[in-house]
Chains A and B, each alone.
With several copies, the nearest count.
Chain A
Amino acid sequence: MVVGTNDPNLAVELCGIPLLTPLIPASGTLSKEALGEVEGVYGAMLPKTTTPVARAGNPPPRVAETPAGMVNSIGLQNPGVEIFLQDLDVFDLGIPILVSVAGDTVADFGGLCERLAGDDRVSAVELNLSCPNVECGGLAFCAGPASVEEVVAACRSAVPGKPILAKLTNEGVVENARAAEAAGADGLTVINTIPALTIDARARKVLVRGGLSGPAIKPVALRAVFDVSGAVGVPVIGSGGVVCGTDVAEFMLAGATAVQVGTASFVRDPRDILDEFSAYLKNGGLGAAELTGALRGIRPTLTGGRGR
């Protein structure tokens, strides 16, 4: 407890990994160019999803503003896992590094996990089972519990030494969460962007077909986190629309152990979000870890951590 002390205790533990703050940059929303600004803000680093081989991504336009949000269709542009690992050191801010992976097949996921298994810089692996923009990827074969279970099981055995986090989309999230847990996931990231479409009425054409993110989806993400954390025993990482400190609190109250900040980092300094969250905790004389599930007294067990 930190009642009365001057700075609240922001530390949380995620799958056995100690985090100095519960904030994590959402995959694909923090580039190396922007790292300078985030010293001390995040509890762990989480670069953009990497794939077995390089992806050029989708043609522009790739982003469109929507009410309280944006739709993106990046298409997992990335240099491929080998170059990714060559450059990984730039993401070393002295905090744990989580690596997000995605592929088109179970073998892709398994292969990526094997590749990461031996790399000591990687504290945990996040499986992007949900990118709505790669039609032949995530969604296509990760839509249901069966495929989720298959992919997670393959990754589980491929990277026995590190926690794996399954990142799920909103559609069918509770069943998929149970399947991922059953297959050995140590944690779940809930949720990814929601499939959406924007249209340019003046030009009468589709502008961007992709995934919706930002505050617009916060109530949907909160419900997913609340329901999932009530249905599984592993820790849940909240993602979706966090834009201020109160949002972080809401996700943790709903049952999240840590919270990802994505789109908001484009429009605000994430440090302000941490400061606001800190003020919230101070106000209530609470430590960050005490918030998780406080809403209903449920706290996900922190077992399953394979921390190094």
Chain B
Amino acid sequence: MKFYNVKVEERKELGNYTLLRYRWNDGPIEPGQFVMARAAGYPVTLDPFLARPFSFYDYDGETASLLFEVRGRGTALLDLASTIEVTAPLGKGFRIEPDLGRAALLGGGIGVAPLKVLGRRLDAMGVPYDVFLGFADAGSAVVAREFAGAEVATMDGSVGTCGTVLDTFATLEDYAAVYSCGPNPMLAAVKLAAGEKSLCQLSVEERMGCGNGSCNGCVVPVRGGGYVRSCVEGPVFRAEVLAW
């Protein structure tokens, strides 16, 4: 897989999360697409060995930004990096059908990442939407301020409703489209809450080896049996496709 060496133009901390911005004018980016990224250093350093998948948080045609949470060694190194290596945009993003009506954007934890650029796209297309976000605590919830008017919940109750993103709304029935990203268990719950009537799209989170379809590592079970690769068929899937 080809990696591009890019300078970190801006590094900003949004509570527990880190935002990295870098120049990207090599082709369009769809909301929901992702990159494989790591701190620069190959081939001099092989650690971490694999690149990590990150959704695009924002994109203005000139610069793209990633928003991430430091979890293990890969993100720890990324957080310190002044130069990073990224792939071209990967995967299939959110499909937007402009004429459906009001949309709901649901994010769980760092799953909020792809919703920013998705919101921009919806604004541009004049699609009305509401944002519902769930976080572990206040430190993670800081990013919520980037989503004006969002309904927020935290597990520890320190900000907004006490509970998960699913506790931030009574029903999703009034929404023609539901777009969601977060831990898989949350997505399964969102799928249930969204029901059959709406167009529900979920950005799944699977471990990836390559990001370009080569390893068959990132699969999700699909209705009708078998598995498909979330890095090329996804990461965004229509809820009804997933055998969850």
Residues of A within 8 A of B (CB): 28-34, 37, 48, 56-57, 59-70, 72, 74, 77, 214-215, 243-244, 263, 265-269, 272
**How far in angstroms is the closest Cβ of chain B from A220?**
16
Known: A61-B207, A63-B209. Contact between A269 and B3, CB under 8 A? Answer: yes
Q: How many inter-chain contacts with C-beta < 8 Å in the A-B complex?
A: 109
Is A64 a contact of B226 with CB atoms below 8 Å?
no
Is A69 a contact of B49 with CB atoms below 8 Å?
yes
The A contact surface, by secondary structure, is loop
Choose from A59, A69, A266 the contact partner of B1 (Cβ within 8 Å): A266
Q: How far is the CA of A56 from the CA of B214 in the complex (A)?
A: 16
The B contact surface, by secondary structure, is loop
Is A56 a contact of B209 with CB atoms below 8 Å?
no
Is A33 a contact of B213 with CB atoms below 8 Å?
yes
Residues of B within 8 A of A (CB): 1-3, 42-43, 46-51, 74, 206-221, 225-227, 232
**How far in angstroms is the closest Cβ of chain A from B73?**
9
Is B227 a contact of A268 with CB atoms below 8 Å?
no
**How far in angstroms is the closest Cβ of chain A from B71?**
10
Is B46 a contact of A67 with CB atoms below 8 Å?
yes
Choose from B49, B213, B221, B225 the contact partner of A267 (Cβ within 8 Å): B49
Residues of A within 8 A of B216 (CB): 28, 31, 48, 57, 62, 74, 77
Most chain A beta-carbon neighbours within 10 Å: one of B47, B74, B208, B219: B219
Is B217 a contact of A269 with CB atoms below 8 Å?
no
**How far in angstroms is the closest Cβ of chain A from B206?**
6
Known: A62-B219, A67-B49. Contact between A57 and B227, CB under 8 A? Answer: yes
Is B207 a contact of A60 with CB atoms below 8 Å?
yes
Is B215 a contact of A267 with CB atoms below 8 Å?
no
Is B212 a contact of A34 with CB atoms below 8 Å?
yes
Q: How far is the CA of A187 from the CA of B11 in the complex (A)?
A: 52
Is B3 a contact of A62 with CB atoms below 8 Å?
no
25 contacts between A and B (CB under 8 A): A30-B214, A32-B213, A33-B212, A33-B213, A33-B214, A34-B1, A34-B210, A34-B212, A59-B221, A60-B227, A63-B209, A68-B49, A74-B215, A77-B216, A243-B46, A244-B43, A265-B1, A265-B214, A266-B1, A266-B51, A267-B42, A268-B43, A269-B1, A269-B3, A272-B43
**How far in angstroms is the closest Cβ of chain B from A71?**
10
Residues of A within 8 A of B3 (CB): 267-269
Q: How far is the CA of A243 from the CA of B207 in the complex (A)?
A: 21
**How far in angstroms is the closest Cβ of chain A from B53?**
12
Is B215 a contact of A72 with CB atoms below 8 Å?
yes
Choose from B43, B49, B207 the contact partner of A66 (Cβ within 8 Å): B49
**How far in angstroms is the closest Cβ of chain B from A32?**
8
Q: How far is the CA of A60 from the CA of B228 in the complex (A)?
A: 11
Q: How far is the CA of A63 from the CA of B43 in the complex (A)?
A: 22
Residues of B within 8 A of A74 (CB): 215-217
Given contacts A265-B1, A266-B1, A268-B43, 19 further A-B pairs with CB under 8 A are: A28-B216, A33-B212, A34-B1, A57-B216, A60-B206, A60-B219, A61-B206, A62-B216, A62-B218, A63-B218, A65-B48, A67-B49, A70-B209, A72-B209, A72-B217, A77-B219, A215-B46, A266-B215, A267-B51
